Structure 1
């Protein structure tokens, strides 16, 4: 007869058995604290030595590079982006004004990238590259925007050929304000006036968007190519209406251009002016928009193409007489 079980047997859960070997006696805890304190002390000593080394190294660099007369900045070279010519718009005075470079400082006392960014922020500058020439030369190459005309906008109180209230425009239509450093370069550039039309907002560092103004700018560039060799120029050009421009030659001839076909119109103007010169006559006004039978009024010959004394014509005359 089988015996009846009177006790329960617990089965252990399957899996690896773990034994806690982490002792927690007083002596063991003291040893651990001592070891941790020693490691901390070693790190503190290392950091202290490192700090002293940094201070000594900084002081040494200060004496070797920043305070040494050998590396004192003795010459700042300003060059155009390509070639060995001076920039036309940025001179040493403008450089010092914009960057605040100390001419008595060490060549290592400034960051090249900061100098480049300060100059590149000028609207008249496209890009800049600054390099050190040890031991004492800073070389800066500048690519500038080439101004081709003054802007005049009565609505914005922008005055052509005025360094305090003027605005210049380059061949791509970007505007920037003049400085005294530019005087010899830009003083005799032609002036484009908006007259009483005033549709454009001229902002330094931004490109003009107005169609009529950009067509006048194109006329300025073409007139230099076509007229300069013959001794003629268009120092003043104005926006007449939606389809035409008005200009005055340096001799005072009033010329009406269309917005397009400027090459053909300039060639016609050369023929007319050459004919007038050969016949010892002056041209008072001419309308170049027609391709044939071009209306021309010779001086003292009577007749009118447009009532003299119009506001735009008066503005162009004022530009011619402006110093």
Structure 2
């Protein structure tokens, strides 16, 4: 009997343990399910919060963009920033209407959106204009300062043109420029105002002419004509056409030094001299009017 009782107690204990384990598993399942529901509710709230934050950020961006666009349109259309006056200075005899034709419309344009670099570039295409400076004068004015080219000589091409000291053709010859020196002997086809026709030979010739005219000998009777003859020869003639100078371009520097010595040592200031020949490297040939064999300067 005792054995039977002992055996039943053992069985009952075993059943109790199993029941306890089963209850524990059930409780765990309930707890796990409850935690999952709680986590699901938390995840849903986090998602809603994230979406709301994204919506608010997007709304702020849209409002900011719309404000910028409206402000930009207001700025562009505001009459306060419209150019109502263009002031030119330094243009000399160039008519304002001619300048405005080059720049295109400026008045009525927004002053900050105006491309001043392009305006300057367009004006600089004019043959008479050397440099241009354009600046805004707030709120509604544009100031344009022009530096004109200076007429230096006349040059004989297919037509006679006025040229500056950089070799740029300014316009066709006119009576107003009759006192300018004239250069001939240069070959250049289809010339037009604005073209740069300078060559090394011509530049050297113009520098030499200027050098001559600084000497007291040519005071009152300056060199006013220069003729390039071939690739190496140049001939100068004075205003009164009674003095001529011939020279070789490739030995000009040495010849000028000797020529200055000759001018400084001549008797009576060289008043009877008709012809100077600097073409030789070792001497200067001087021909006087009293010499019947001496050619005239215009021959």
TM-score bin, normalised by smaller chain: 0.5 to 0.7
- Corresponding residue for 1:19? none
C-alpha displacement of 1:238? 0.9
**1:122 Cα offset (Å):** 5.9
Give distance in 2, aligned partners of 1:228 and 1:202: 37
Aligned to 1:76: 87
Distance in 2 of aligned mates of 1:307 and 1:185: 26
Long gaps (5+) in structure 2: 1-36
SS in 1 for 2:144: strand
Cα displacement (A) at 1:76:
0.6
1:45 to 51, 59, 71: 59
CA RMSD of aligned residues (A): 4.7
Structure 2 counterpart of 1:191: 182
State the secondary structure of the residue aligned to 1:235. strand
Is the 1:244–1:256 contact (alpha carbons within 8 Å) kept by the matching residues of 2? no
- SS at 1:110 equivalent: coil
> CA-to-partner distance for each residue in 1:259-301, whole Å, 9 max, x for gaps?
424477588499989836xxxxxx8x52342866611347xx8
User: Within 2, Cα distance between the matches of 1:202 and 1:209?
Assistant: 16
Give the alignment partner of residue 296 of structure 1, picking from 273, 276, 288.
288
Q: How do 1:1-323 residues align onto structure 2 when only pairs under 5 Å count?
A: 31=45, 34-61=48-75, 62-67=77-82, 72-73=84-85, 75-78=86-89, 86-87=90-91, 92-103=96-107, 105=109, 107-108=111-112, 110-120=114-124, 127-153=131-157, 157=158, 159-161=159-161, 168-170=163-165, 174-179=166-171, 188-195=179-186, 208-210=198-200, 212-226=201-215, 230-241=219-230, 243-253=232-242, 255-258=244-247, 259=249, 260=252, 261-262=255-256, 265=259, 268=263, 275=271, 285-289=274-278, 294-297=286-289, 303-305=293-295
Q: Alignment partner of 2:227: what SS?
A: strand
Secondary structure at the counterpart of residue 102 of structure 2: helix
| Alpha-carbon distance between aligned partners in 2 of 1:36 and 1:249, rounded to the nearest angstrom | 95
2:27 matched to which residue of 1?
Answer: none
Write the distance in 2 (CA, Å) between the matches of 1:228 and 1:41.
92
Task: Report SS of the residue matched to 2:161.
Answer: coil
Distance 1:39 1:183 in 2: 79
Instruction: Give unpaired runs (5+ residues) of structure 1.
Output: 1-22, 79-85, 163-167, 277-282, 310-323
CA distance in 2 between counterparts of 1:152 and 1:111 reads: 39
Count of residues in correspondence between the two structures: 249
Following superposition, the deviation at residue 147 of structure 1 comes to: 4.2
Q: Secondary structure at the match of 2:153?
A: strand
Structure with the greater alpha carbon radius of gyration: 2
1:237 to partner: Cα distance: 0.9
**1:47-74 CA distances to partner (integer Å, 9 max, x unpaired)?**
321233123322432325335xxx621x
